[in-house]
Structure 1
Amino acid sequence: MSQAPYFDLSSPSLKADPYKEFERIRTEDPIHLVTLPGQRQGWLITRYEDAERALRDQRFVKDARKALSLEQFARQFPWLRDQDQGGDHEQTRIFGRGLLNVDPPDHTRLRALVNIAFTPRMIERWSERIQEITNALLDAVQARGEMDLVDDFAFPLPMTVITEMLGIPQEDRTKFRQWSNVLIEGSGNPKEIQNRIEQIRAYHNYLYELINRKRKQPADDLLSHLIETEEVGDKLTEEELVAMVSLLLIAGHETTVNLISNGTLALLQHPDQKEKLLNDPSLIKSAIEEFLRYHGPLMTATQRWASEDIEFGGKQIQRGDYIVVVLASANHDHQEFEHAEVLDVTRKENAHLAFGKGIHYCLGAPLARLEGQIAIRTLLQRLPNLHLAVAEEELVWRPGSLIMGLRAFPVEF
């Protein structure tokens, strides 16, 4: 593969408004070969039709070992190279055993173990508790007249919910934000991940300690149920258990943090849409779907590799090539969405790809939707005069190629 032009999906400046650049790529070269940070080359898949097809195509695998030669794997994942040597390799290789990094039949087996906890019916049981947490967070700031919407609201809400579901002590919750930042903000850049080995080791050690504590004192929570499954021995290994808990903790709050903050920002940028939602709270479900499409929580889908030589969209993709499905571009494709550049909280036809498609469709989508609906509806009801406390250009977006989320979001009301 010849050297391709450099493109930094992780750039905070790109994330503020990536859509003109993505429109250019969709028009000129919709399956676009680029060099990404860390000198990794990959194909950007930018059109909706191609993105949906790629997300469903099981020739694009999640487990890099199925696509890369030993030499390619060692070059792209030096910290995973020698799995039997312990040390740092031991500390990080467990994350390759999670739902986001495996294919069938392992993916089918692992997903079945947690599916029941995240069905819409099961998630609906959390509605009252989510409302209680939302009210308490707003009670704490309402008299101040200002807050950081990320720190004071969008982050603690989903973090409290997922840690309560898992049965994790309240005093440990703040640790997860730091560890989540380490992993998420280094996404898409192998060198960044390698530079964060020490912090990943601390996270890994904490998860093992947490699981060992829970073994001794099980309770009626999701983590205890997963440990019980692991102890049976034929459905879940210890490595898979640690990887599963890590995924549930990080994915269980990251998507919703960004959904709440990006959705609120979209409303502040479009006062007419904010007014519509204020006047008709029944629009909240269609509004949440539109926030997910318009400036969703993820820039790209999680990583994939071609497991064989593939002709795709007129391009010859070779086995081992890195595949980047750009959700943010697909969700603004005019071929799929009428007036794609317009925020419309009443939009009816909205088959966005914010939660993916196919067998890797986001497990936590029902939870993120419910949290987003309750959070933004209550926020507008209680703080109808909410507005930005800084100029829009002063907002800083978090790095990492996977997510689109604000570092801070100062507001007044």
Structure 2
Amino acid sequence: MAADTLFQRITDYAHRADPYPLYAELRENGVARQDDGSYLVGTYHEIAALLHDPRISSDRRHRTAPDETAEEQLPPSFIGLDDPEHHRLRGLAMRSFGPPHTPDRIDGMHEEITRIVQDLIAGFQGKERIDVVDEFAYPLPVTVICRLLGVPTEDEPRFRLWSDAIVAGFDPTPGEDPVERQRAGTEARKAMALYLGELAERRRGHPSDDMLSAFVNDAGPGGQLTPLETMTTAVLLLIAGHETTVNLITNGMLTLLRHPEALERLRSEPALMPLAVEELLRFEPPVQMLPQRTPLADVEVAGITVPRGSPLILMLASGNRDPRRFSDPDLFDPAREDNQHLGFGSGVHSCFGAPLARLETQIALHALLRHLDTPRLVEDPPEYRRSPVLRGPRHLFIERGGV
């Protein structure tokens, strides 16, 4: 089929369960110009180079034809900005999230994450069938990030509704009118931001051991987040910290159930779990593509000139299966060592919350393998979520042998 329809076919829900043949077709075509003027890149080395190229912008306002379908009521978070503003905001957020200023923030969550995981697994008791998504993978990361931010326990459920609407607003499915979906996502983002902003302001001058308190009380050499920047940064942490981890855990469990020999190996060699999670990030990444990149100048990619301002779509999941970079790329190898995957992106916009997602997934999968004696997939392929960007099962029903 024509290469200029690849994005339409990749984002078609009919291919959600297995987009990998289409990614192979994309790699054969190199850089594929689409009929809407966008350019798809699916080869590893070209994607990696573009992620490190300062001429490639993350700010969609630089597009020749700006996206005007949604009326944004909040400024973009730092992942939608370029340096130096991106660097400033990311640096201020990192003061409260990780090294060198708060090196123990993530490692200090190990016991808390383990307790949350154990409580969720206790809820499986007496059930012959469980939904790994609704009963485990979905509530785990939203609970963790709410605890990190300092959201009261009784308010945690409302974040699922907001998160669902925001993620649906990212869906780039061609041929569908995105206006209503994006409007609902914008309203949900605004509601979440207002809630988190008000919560942060209540902590100003009355700090506690959470990230919202740090945002409003800890001024470093680079200054301090403004109230509006606090809101947009907190929303980013919650959405990015939740949605990608849901898919990583669920895709991980699905992959292990499809590879029973790997599942049994991880049971007998639990020390392999960190390597296995890296392989899951390569093999079934939770973020399949980066659909909003823009060249600030004409850029040559694999012999093709991508004009300044053209939408550039980087297909991370395709790069992760590129045989020019990975040996046996379609083989799931839980002990793979040469594994510099693109599962968390690369360059200055590499995933901010990657250490937390890794820790949650390692603890979660280890616990599931330990407590589920003989898990069996009820349906394969399972029902997938609508989004082609944040790809993962909407439900993952398994029958279990015991807890």
Same fold (TM over 0.5): yes
* Pick aligned residue for 2:217 from 182, 206, 228: 228
Whole-Å separation in 1 of the counterparts to 2:272 and 2:130: 26
Do structure 1's residue 34 and structure 2's residue 34 form an aligned pair?
Answer: yes
- Measured after TM superposition, the shift of residue 388 of structure 1 is 1.1
Whole-Å separation in 1 of the counterparts to 2:391 and 2:257: 17
* Structure 2 equivalent of residue 404 of structure 1: 391
**Unaligned runs of at least 5 residues, structure 1:** 80-88
Whole-Å separation in 2 of the counterparts to 1:52 and 1:383: 38
| Structure-to-structure mapping, 1:4-15, within 5 angstroms | 4-5=4-5, 7-8=7-8, 9-15=10-16
1:336–1:206 distance in 2 versus 1, CA, 3 Å: closer
- Measured after TM superposition, the shift of residue 149 of structure 1 is 0.2
* Pick aligned residue for 2:315 from 326, 335, 339: 326
CA contact (8 A) 1:26 1:47 kept: yes
Deviations 1:12-49 (A, max 9, x none): 3322111111112201x1211124xxxx5421110001
Q: Secondary structure at the match of 2:156?
A: helix
- Measured after TM superposition, the shift of residue 115 of structure 1 is 1.6
- Measured after TM superposition, the shift of residue 194 of structure 1 is 4.8
Deviations 1:60-84 (A, max 9, x none): 101122x235xx22xx2243xxxxx
Deviations 1:178-210 (A, max 9, x none): 222222233253942553414532441342144
Do structure 1's residue 109 and structure 2's residue 88 form an aligned pair?
Answer: yes
Whole-Å separation in 2 of the counterparts to 1:285 and 1:242: 33
* Structure 2 equivalent of residue 248 of structure 1: 237
1:5–1:78 distance in 2 versus 1, CA, 3 Å: same
Whole-Å separation in 2 of the counterparts to 1:310 and 1:210: 40
1:97–1:235 distance in 2 versus 1, CA, 3 Å: farther
CA contact (8 A) 2:69 2:179 kept: no
CA contact (8 A) 1:61 1:304 kept: yes
- Measured after TM superposition, the shift of residue 234 of structure 1 is 5.2
Whole-Å separation in 2 of the counterparts to 1:403 and 1:24: 21
CA contact (8 A) 2:16 2:388 kept: no
- Measured after TM superposition, the shift of residue 227 of structure 1 is 2.7
Q: Secondary structure at the match of 2:170?
A: coil
Q: Secondary structure at the match of 1:118?
A: coil
* Aligned-partner residue type, residue 98 of structure 2: F
1:156–1:322 distance in 2 versus 1, CA, 3 Å: same
Whole-Å separation in 1 of the counterparts to 2:372 and 2:331: 25
Whole-Å separation in 1 of the counterparts to 2:149 and 2:181: 29
Q: How high is the sequence identity, in percent, across the aligned residues? A: 34
* Pick aligned residue for 1:54 from 50, 67, 71: 50
* Structure 1 equivalent of residue 135 of structure 2: 152
CA contact (8 A) 2:168 2:182 kept: no
**Unaligned runs of at least 5 residues, structure 2:** none
* Pick aligned residue for 1:118 from 75, 98, 106: 98
* Aligned-partner residue type, residue 193 of structure 2: L
1:170–1:203 distance in 2 versus 1, CA, 3 Å: farther
CA contact (8 A) 1:308 1:320 kept: yes
* Structure 2 equivalent of residue 82 of structure 1: none
* Structure 2 equivalent of residue 288 of structure 1: 277
CA contact (8 A) 2:169 2:186 kept: no
RMSD of the TM alignment (CA)?
2.3
Do structure 1's residue 355 and structure 2's residue 334 form an aligned pair?
Answer: no
| Structure-to-structure mapping, 1:165-244, within 5 angstroms | 165-189=148-172, 191-192=177-178, 194-217=180-203, 218=206, 219-228=208-217, 235-244=224-233
* Aligned-partner residue type, residue 127 of structure 1: H
Q: Secondary structure at the match of 2:34?
A: strand
- Measured after TM superposition, the shift of residue 99 of structure 1 is 1.6
Q: Secondary structure at the match of 1:303?
A: strand
Whole-Å separation in 1 of the counterparts to 2:220 and 2:178: 35
Instruction: Name which of structure 1's ranges 176-185 and 364-373 shifts more when overlaid on structure 2.
Output: 176-185
* Structure 1 equivalent of residue 380 of structure 2: 392
CA contact (8 A) 1:258 1:405 kept: yes
CA contact (8 A) 1:299 1:401 kept: yes
* Pick aligned residue for 2:68 from 67, 71, 77: 77
Q: Secondary structure at the match of 1:164?
A: helix
1:411–1:125 distance in 2 versus 1, CA, 3 Å: same
- Residues paired across the two proteins, number: 387
Which consecutive aligned stretches of 4+ in structure 1 deviate over 4 angstroms post-superposition? Answer: 229-234
Do structure 1's residue 68 and structure 2's residue 36 form an aligned pair?
Answer: no
* Structure 2 equivalent of residue 84 of structure 1: none
* Structure 1 equivalent of residue 23 of structure 2: 22
CA contact (8 A) 1:187 1:193 kept: no
CA contact (8 A) 2:272 2:335 kept: yes
